[in-house]
């Protein structure tokens, strides 16, 4: 099949939605499908390139159209991007349009109608109903756009779609998959372990700098835990966006105020390719979020056979079974998180047991091949319903 994947953000940007799109595209290419990814321009990235076998085209001419003084800006806001997208597709065949966000669903609707093909959507937005005109936005996307199927990456997202009024038959639960060959058990990387060696208990949190990621709670918990387990060191792997630079500054001040310089590190340089080695080097991987759609970073760490700690919230409880393949703690509780860190830091046997069970859970529920199987099956079924399967 020829699949058109629309992503408002894609590699080299790192995040849950971007990782999902890149992993899906590469997995489908490996099955013999052609993947064309249309996404936004990124400074330093080429306009066209091949990523994991997928053709990636970064669009930017729509910006010039919006800024043109002789054009109607509101008209260009609505249609300049879809026109540029259609031009990028050219005469190439399209069998399925897959939109990777709500804004892409609007553009994807026009393209799917133009080409007469099914529209599939995956939504990663955490709380779009809280955005300005959020109720209207949710109603438009879920009730009125010509979406043939929403692939809900978790029960959290499935419930959100149903609450917005979509017909249950148009939603399929397909857990986001992780590449179990790339994210797999293996030896630690000395570059990540640092000079402390065996005495260090390396705690990793892979998360964008965002308020809902609970990073302030984590830093405070490390301050408490390090009094009882002096070997604990924390690495926060994630980038600040233009809207979260103030939060990053606050977190850096908090680190200094708690005397954690040298014990808590922020690394914004890591890419998706670096993450398996980082997880393998960790003793504990933590996701202390206050809201999460699924917890993809935890799944990646579980695939690497790491002991994980997550907040007891919707989304993460779909990933971790408390005490079996990880530990759940009360969200925003410094003491609860510190207690869990100390307990695992002191018990390497328990960490290893949780890690083994975590890999088993990953293989059973979150392996990429299972997700690709289900996605491919849905694509084909929708094409067959149209009577134009290829």
Q: Is the peptide bond before 297 cis (omega within 30 degrees of 0)?
A: no
Q: What is the pLDDT of residue 196?
A: 60
Q: What six digits make up the tokens of 228?
A: 């009882």
Report which of 125, 126, 119, 122 is spatially closest to residue 144, judged by C-alpha positions.
119
**Phi, psi for 385 (deg, rounded to 5):** -60, -30
Rg (CA), the chain: 22
Q: What is the pLDDT of residue 390?
A: 46
Residues in the chain with pLDDT < 50?
389-390
Residue pointed to by tokens 């917890």: 295
Residues 6+ apart with CB under 8 A from 285: 203, 204, 205, 206, 279, 297, 298, 301, 306, 307, 308, 309
Q: What is the pLDDT of residue 92?
A: 78
Neighbouring CB atoms inside 10 A of 77's CB total 12
**What global pTM score does this model have?**
0.88
Q: What is the pLDDT of residue 389?
A: 47
Q: Is 40 left (phi over 0), alpha (psi -120 to 50) or beta?
A: beta
Q: What is the pLDDT of residue 386?
A: 81
Neighbouring CB atoms inside 10 A of 135's CB total 12
Q: What six digits make up the tokens of 304?
A: 């690497």
CB 176, CB 365: distance < 8 Å: no
Mind listing the domains of the chain with CATH numbers? 2-177+368-386 (3.40.50.2000), 190-365 (3.40.50.2000)
Q: What is the pLDDT of residue 388?
A: 54
């Amino acid at each position: 099949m020829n699949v058109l994947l629309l992503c408002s953000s894609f590699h080299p940007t790192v995040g849950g939605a971007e990782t999902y799109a890149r992993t899906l595209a590469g997995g489908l290419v490996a099955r013999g499908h052609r993947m064309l990814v249309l996404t936004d321009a990124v400074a330093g990235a080429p306009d066209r390139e091949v990523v994991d076998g997928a053709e990636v085209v970064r669009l930017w001419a729509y910006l010039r159209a919006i800024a043109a003084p002789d054009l109607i800006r509101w008209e260009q806001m609505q249609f300049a991007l879809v026109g540029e997208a259609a031009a990028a597709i050219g005469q190439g065949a399209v069998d399925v349009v897959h939109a990777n966000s709500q804004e892409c669903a609007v553009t994807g609707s026009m393209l799917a109608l133009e080409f007469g093909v099914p529209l599939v959507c995956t939504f990663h937005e955490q709380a779009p109903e809280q955005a300005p005109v959020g109720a209207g936005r949710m109603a438009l996307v879920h009730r009125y756009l010509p979406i043939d199927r929403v692939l809900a990456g978790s029960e959290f997202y499935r419930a959100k779609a149903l609450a917005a009024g979509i017909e249950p038959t148009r939603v399929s639960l397909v857990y986001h998959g992780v590449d179990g060959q790339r994210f797999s058990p293996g030896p630690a990387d000395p570059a990540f372990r640092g000079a402390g060696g065996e005495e260090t208990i390396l705690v990793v949190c892979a998360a964008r700098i965002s308020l809902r990621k609970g990073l302030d709670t984590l830093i405070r918990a490390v301050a408490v835990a390090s009094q009882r387990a002096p070997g604990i060191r924390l690495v926060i792997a994630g980038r600040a966006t233009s809207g979260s630079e103030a939060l990053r500054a606050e977190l850096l001040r908090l680190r200094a105020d708690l005397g954690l310089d040298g014990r808590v590190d922020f690394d914004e340089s890591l890419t998706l390719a670096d993450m398996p080695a980082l997880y393998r080097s960790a003793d504990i991987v933590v996701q202390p979020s206050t809201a999460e759609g699924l917890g993809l970073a935890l799944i990646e760490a579980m695939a690497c056979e790491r002991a994980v700690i997550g907040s007891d919230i919707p989304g993460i409880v779909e990933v971790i079974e408390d005490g079996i393949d990880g530990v759940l703690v009360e969200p925003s509780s410094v003491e609860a998180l510190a207690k869990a860190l100390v307990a695992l830091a002191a018990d390497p046997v328990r960490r290893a047991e949780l890690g083994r069970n975590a890999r088993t859970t990953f293989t059973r529920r979150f392996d990429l091949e299972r997700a690709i199987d289900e996605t491919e099956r849905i694509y084909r079924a929708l094409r067959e319903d149209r009577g134009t399967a290829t």
